[in-house]
Amino acid sequence: MLTGIVIDALDTARLDRFWQEATRGRTDGLRLRFVPTTTPKAAHKNRLHLDLAGGADHQAEVARLLALGATRADIGQGDVPWDVLADPEGNEFCVLRPGHPGVLADSGLVAICLDTFEQDLPAQSAFWHSRADWRRVESHDRYTRLRRTPTSPVSMVLGPPAASKAGRNRLRLEVTRPDREPGEFPDPGGNEFHLIH
């Protein structure tokens, strides 16, 4: 079962504080685990990122996140109905505006987005449906959405745009499987994930 997200951090305590405050502690039971690294984030966009709900006053929410230490980020998104920010170590995340499809909460973490090439979507969708033990609630040519239950506030979204893999992912999914040997493994798209007991 998908139980968390592992995030490499130069300053684990600072990033933990940021994300606790950014999500207001609302992560639908998913654990955010920060592990130390000495390698700063590379210039390329992460293949895994988080989406937060902006709520009724998304501009105030963006201002709150900027005051916590986030910065605005340009990943070539153009004119989109969400705001792209980065945490204090440069990890991109989105703040979704009211009415964004699939948002079932007014604040906190609402989506885990895993970049997937269109041609890889069937294999990735099948793999994460089985590993996460989350239900497929939407499936289209360009993306798939999974949820723990149909009303869980957090979804996992797989789809484009995706960039070629450039080194080890800074954010990785964590799956709890008591029947499997723990370790780090690749999914069909080459994205590392952790198996724990």
β-strand pairing of 135-139 with 82-86:
unpaired
Q: Which helix (H) or strand (E) holds 63?
A: helix 58-68
Count: domains in the chain: 1
Closest to 128 in 3D by CA, of 149, 114, 111: 114
User: Hey, which bits of 71-147 come out as E strands?
Assistant: 71-72, 82-86, 92-96, 109-115, 135-139, 144-147
CATH code of residue 26? 3.10.180.10
Structure tokens at 159: 């789809």
- Per the CB < 8 A criterion, the answer to whether 118 and 141 are in contact is yes
pLDDT computed for residue 79 by the predictor: 83
**Token digits for 17?**
């504080």
Q: Quick one: which of 59, 68, 85 has its CA closest to 19?
A: 68
Query: Could you tell me the residue range of the domain that residue 106 belongs to?
Result: 2-196
The pLDDT assigned to 173 comes to 98
**pLDDT tens across the length of the chain (197 residues):** 999 999 999 999 999 999 999 999 999 999 999 999 999 998 889 999 999 999 999 999 999 999 999 999 988 887 888 999 999 999 999 999 988 888 999 999 999 999 999 999 999 999 999 999 999 999 988 999 999 999 999 999 999 988 888 899 999 999 999 998 999 999 999 999 999 99
d(CA 84, CA 93): 6
Is 99 in contact with 143 (CB distance < 8 Å)?
A: no
Burial 157-178 (b: 16+ CB within 10 A, else e): bbbeebeeeeeebbbbbbbbee
- The partner residues of 18 in beta bridges, in order of sequence, read none
